Amino acid sequence: MNKELNNVAQMMVKPGKGILAADESNATITKRFNQINLECSKESRRNYREMLFRSSEAMENYISGVILYDETIRQKSETGEYLTDIIQKSNSLVGIKVDTGAKPLALDNSQTITEGLDGLRERLNEYYNLGARFAKWRGVIEISKDNPTSYAIKANAQALARYAALCQEANIVPIIEPEVLMDSQNSNHNIKECERITTWVLNTVFEELFNAKIELEGIVLKPNMIIPGKFCKERSSPNEIAERTLSCLKETVPHGVPGIAFLSGGQNDIEATEHLSIINTSSNNPWNITFSFGRALQHESIMTWGGKVEKITDAQKAFTHRAKMNSFASLGKWNVDLENND
């Protein structure tokens, strides 16, 4: 076992801490800024992310690592400090998104394949020198009447495995993110369908990781929860979501994996926290289970900030509150009263 990779993976999923996904591509962060009528520029992206990374209470106590976008890992604050230095000073790890996005699958543009393998070995070495100790690659699977096909699942799983092998070769922990979407236009599937497809996807991913000789002790899995599609009329209770999620993971994820850090996928802030907390009330989970949220950690903060300097302190408080609530959830200790009494 590679001790260095295992140590980093353990730090990423340390009980009480989780990961901030701040790796929105420029297209995605533009959508977020549109909600607050803010122009998306290099500077506004820097100001927003610097505001989050300077939330010292959140960063020191609740955030184990931050996933950055290529632009951010090279960016300096207005006072000339690298944003990566701000993150590291709060004892948080620097991570980097290395995929270049989900693109239409050739001859089948109803599904996607994630790109970014060309030149990845060289990019990873550069990112290591810039401070990155973990990386992220997201494969996207959409459920509809005819999809996903086994070809699309296998192609995405193989890309994740090839990425993971290059990461481990570069001494970087790969976050393996095979996301079964809950919030696409076609998402009217029920919870059982999400469970069936996620089980299929995770089994295929671990088969490909095995084929690629990946050391499971040096990865972190970032899956979706088992949840009905956004447009499904049959809603499921938080307990059912937590039970099905745990049972799917127990069926598919080897115990050698140090940790699981969920994406939020379009759940609102409280839902994501509540589900994570119920999952963690089960006492015999074989892995540390925590969060690697983007939207469910940032939403309140970005809305409070609104691009205004005078709102920075309030926005940092909102981020700190959400991070703290998710920290409780990662220990199975969240309850709704904490939302108002913090």
Q: Single out the residue of 53, 163, 287, 293 in contact with ligand 5MM (rule: CB under 6 A).
A: 293
Using the rule CB under 6 A, give the single segment among 23-31, 206-214, 274-282, 319-327 that binds ligand 5MM. Answer: 23-31
User: Cα Rg for the chain, rounded, in angstroms?
Assistant: 19
Q: Single out the residue of 32, 138, 189, 244 in contact with ligand 5MM (rule: CB under 6 A).
A: 138
Enumerate the β-bridge partners of residue 289: 260
Q: Single out the residue of 295, 321, 322, 324 in contact with ligand 5MM (rule: CB under 6 A).
A: 295
Count of C-beta atoms within a 10 Å radius of residue 213:
10
| Residue where the block lists tokens 């607050």 | 36
Q: How many residues bind ligand 5MM (CB under 6 A)?
A: 15
Asked if 318 contacts 44 with a C-beta cutoff of 8 angstroms, the reply is: no
Quick one: tokens of 113?
């394949």
Q: Which CB, 295 or 322, lies closer to ligand 5MM?
A: 295
Using the rule CB under 6 A, give the single segment among 79-87, 225-233, 277-285, 294-302 that binds ligand 5MM. Answer: 294-302
Quick one: tokens of 262?
């969920």
Q: Which CB, 2 or 25, lies closer to ligand 5MM?
A: 25
- Pattern 171-190, binding to ligand 5MM, x per CB under 6 A? --------x-----------
Using the rule CB under 6 A, give the single segment among 114-122, 146-154, 241-249, 259-267 that binds ligand 5MM. Answer: 259-267
d(CA 9, CA 32): 29
DSSP label at residue 96: E
Residues belonging to the active site:
177, 222
Nearest-approach distance from CB 173 to ligand 5MM, in angstroms? 15
d(CA 115, CA 102): 6
**Does residue 142 belong to the site contacting ligand 5MM (CB under 6 A)?**
no
Select from 132, 181, 182, 140 the least CA-distant residue to 160. 140
In Å, what is the CA distance from 108 to each residue of 117, 118, 178, 198?
20, 22, 19, 21
**247 Cβ contact list (under 8 Å, min separation 6):** none
Distance from the first to the final alpha carbon of the chain: 41
- Helix, strand or coil for residue 142? coil
Q: Provide the total of helices (H) and of strands (E) in the chain, helices listed first.
A: 14, 10
Residues in 48-77 that interact with ligand 5MM by CB under 6 A: none
Nearest-approach distance from CB 236 to ligand 5MM, in angstroms? 18
Quick one: tokens of 156?
């995405």
**Does residue 296 belong to the site contacting ligand 5MM (CB under 6 A)?**
yes
DSSP label at residue 233: S
DSSP label at residue 186: T
Q: Single out the residue of 10, 25, 44, 285 in contact with ligand 5MM (rule: CB under 6 A).
A: 25
Q: Single out the residue of 263, 289, 315, 325 in contact with ligand 5MM (rule: CB under 6 A).
A: 263
Nearest-approach distance from CB 82 to ligand 5MM, in angstroms? 21
Residues in 84-103 that interact with ligand 5MM by CB under 6 A: 101
Q: Single out the residue of 12, 13, 24, 273 in contact with ligand 5MM (rule: CB under 6 A).
A: 24
List of residues contacting ligand 5MM (CB under 6 A): 21, 23-25, 28, 101, 138, 179, 263-265, 293-296
